[in-house]
Structure 1
Amino acid sequence: MTRSSDAEHPFSDAGGKRGRKPGPIAGTAGPSHRAWLEPVRSVLFASGLTLNDLVDRSGYSKTRISELLRGNGYYPAWEITFSVIRALGLPVQPMRRLWTAAAREAQKESSWISQCVRQVAPGEPEQPPIPHQAFTDAMRAPYTAYARALLLTDHRARRAVAETFDILWLCWKDASSSEDIRRYAWHLLRSRVMDRVERHDEGHPDLRAAVFSTQEAHTGPSGRLAVPTDLVDLFDAIGRLPNDQMDIAVLHHLCGMALEDIPAVIGLSEALTHAIEHHARAALEGMVHHPHSPRE
């Protein structure tokens, strides 16, 4: 599976003005590892703190902090991770969940994870900001439907959505001050899903397997699950659309969401959403019925 580019993520290595920043995240860091590493780096860069500042505040060496921030070497223990996020003033509860999920992704034993967590005092229980809780309650169902349509299983969908909401909590200050929090959060969800979606060799999402979860799929005479060929072609074409067109097509056609409900989910105006959907339908018509015509 090809990893999505950093340009698709709402977090970038920009904003810091003092000192030299750590190098880019190592390519060996998995999706769950990047899920917490990207916002931690984003908060660090925006804070203007240098690596030396973080060393002084955390009590760990520059080498170890640098490795943690790049995702290099062994997966970091919770103790050093906790020291870094406390130095940055980040909430512990969502970070611990993200760290635990990434530790499992790194194939760490449950006993190692539990021991790491026990070595750090739990502290006082934290509650997310009330607006964050209201937002997650409103978006959980449409986000999960979108993630399930692309990732195919409930477990993978719930995992991507849970990551999204935990990262949103970590970065709530930036999210709530953004031009449109719905758009900010949608890009965040999309990045989590696209890090895990199956892809064609040329890089775009491969949605052909999603057709087997539709009502049109049926068991043929041989006992095998069968679907109409034109439906497979349609799902494959949806995966080739530009980002916004694909997202609206997935929500509208694969998830069954009414077109008038989509703007509130993806953070676009109603007029723009209708225009994008119109272009998507025209593009799909060209790709499915005229497969040899030029594709945008």
Structure 2
Amino acid sequence: MIWPPDADQPLPPDTSTRRGRPPAPIAASAGLFHRAWLEPVRAFLHASGITLDDLVNRSGFSKTRISELLRGNDYYPAWEITSSVIHALGLPLEPMRRLWLAGAREARRPEAWIERSISQVALQPEPPPVPYEAFTDTVRDAYTAYARAFLLTDQRAGAVVAETFDILWLSWNEAATSENLPRYAWQLLRARVMARAHHHHGHPDLRAAVFSTAEIHDHMPGHFVALSELTRLFDAIGRLPDDQMDIAVLRYLCAVPDAAIPGIVGLSDVITRAIDHHARAALEALLPDLTQE
């Protein structure tokens, strides 16, 4: 594919008083992996003020096709049009291609179609931003341990962390300029994990983590060793409010050092300690027979 000659140039300032209409809501048929890249792309488009007409001029594709792509409507888009729109928006192509590939397989597109679609677009090496690499290296282990507590296997946990990091790279300009990068990234990870976690009576189900979390007994308050008691405790942790649950999971199920947790979840030391205190109190109220020690 040949990019338009002005694809790397900034869009001219808009002098009109009327912007293009935002795209319609994402189609209900769009899958989880499809939405993983479609939602941040739409968010970037909305924040940038770029119109569909701008994308038509810069990508070379019709307004109808671009509109369908942005809605996730009717079909999974080929990599050629997807990469053209991403390039026109100035977003990184390397993480986008991985996200697109996962979505194509989720949509049950044939492997031959996927390979042919990818082969039509040359992709130059694209190193990630250095601050992005430094940040992801810092949080990778804790993110993976948290994801494993809910998803139970290293493969599933690694896949959701990789997906989170690709979305973070795709959204890096927004994330890096946010008021709280660690909080931005943590909420992104949390959303990806919860979208895949098994739920029990409306709450994340941690009971199976009793059998998959290594060396758990050494890190639990009171050293509860009976599996039935651990199962009750893990179930109670899953019923805590979001922040309380997250901190309890990181501290007690993942054995993340106390000093590291505030930087992982993007909260201050004082707030993190207060949340941990409330989590302990809530567990004592739910399970007084297990926490009396």
How high is the TM-score relative to the length of structure 2? 0.85
After TM superposition, give the deviation of residue 227 of structure 1 in Å: 6.3
- Structure whose CA Rg is larger: 2
Mapped partners of 2:65, 2:278: distance in 1: 50
Q: Does 1:101 align with 2:89?
A: no
Mapped partners of 2:168, 2:253: distance in 1: 26
Mapped partners of 2:138, 2:214: distance in 1: 27
Provide Cα deviations, 1:202-227, integer angstroms capped at 9, x if missing partner.
4321111111114589xxxxxxxx96
After TM superposition, give the deviation of residue 228 of structure 1 in Å: 2.2
Unmatched 5+ residue regions in structure 1?
1-16, 218-225, 291-296
Kept in 2, the 8 Å contact 1:168–1:185? The answer is: yes
Mapped partners of 1:54, 1:280: distance in 2: 49
RMSD of aligned C-alpha atoms?
2.1
Aligned counterpart, 2:185: 185
Aligned counterpart, 2:202: 203
Aligned counterpart, 2:261: 262
Q: Does 1:134 align with 2:116?
A: no
Mapped partners of 2:28, 2:117: distance in 1: 25
Q: What are the equivalent positions in structure 2 for 1:1-40 lying under 5 Å apart?
A: 18-40=19-41
Unmatched 5+ residue regions in structure 2?
1-17, 217-224
Provide Cα deviations, 1:121-166, integer angstroms capped at 9, x if missing partner.
22x2111111111111111111111111111111111111111111
Aligned counterpart, 1:277: 276
Kept in 1, the 8 Å contact 2:144–2:158? The answer is: yes
Kept in 2, the 8 Å contact 1:216–1:228? The answer is: no
Mapped partners of 2:72, 2:180: distance in 1: 30
Q: What are the equivalent positions in structure 2 for 1:34-183 lying under 5 Å apart?
A: 34-122=35-123, 124-183=124-183
Kept in 1, the 8 Å contact 2:42–2:70? The answer is: yes
Fraction of identical pairs, as percent? 65
Provide Cα deviations, 1:265-293, integer angstroms capped at 9, x if missing partner.
11111111010001011111222338xxx
After TM superposition, give the deviation of residue 197 of structure 1 in Å: 0.8
Q: Which amino acid aligns with 2:64?
A: T
Q: Which amino acid aligns with 1:150?
A: F
Mapped partners of 1:285, 1:27: distance in 2: 42
Mapped partners of 1:160, 1:249: distance in 2: 20
Q: Which amino acid aligns with 1:181?
A: L
What stretches of structure 1 move > 6 A for 4+ residues in a row?
none
Alpha carbons of 1:181 and 1:215: their partners in 2 closer, same or farther (altered >3 Å)?
Answer: closer
How high is the TM-score relative to the length of structure 1? 0.84
Kept in 2, the 8 Å contact 1:211–1:227? The answer is: no
**Structure with higher RCO (Cα < 8 A, 6+ apart):** 1
Mapped partners of 1:65, 1:214: distance in 2: 45
Count of residues in correspondence between the two structures = 266
Q: Secondary structure at the match of 1:208?
A: coil
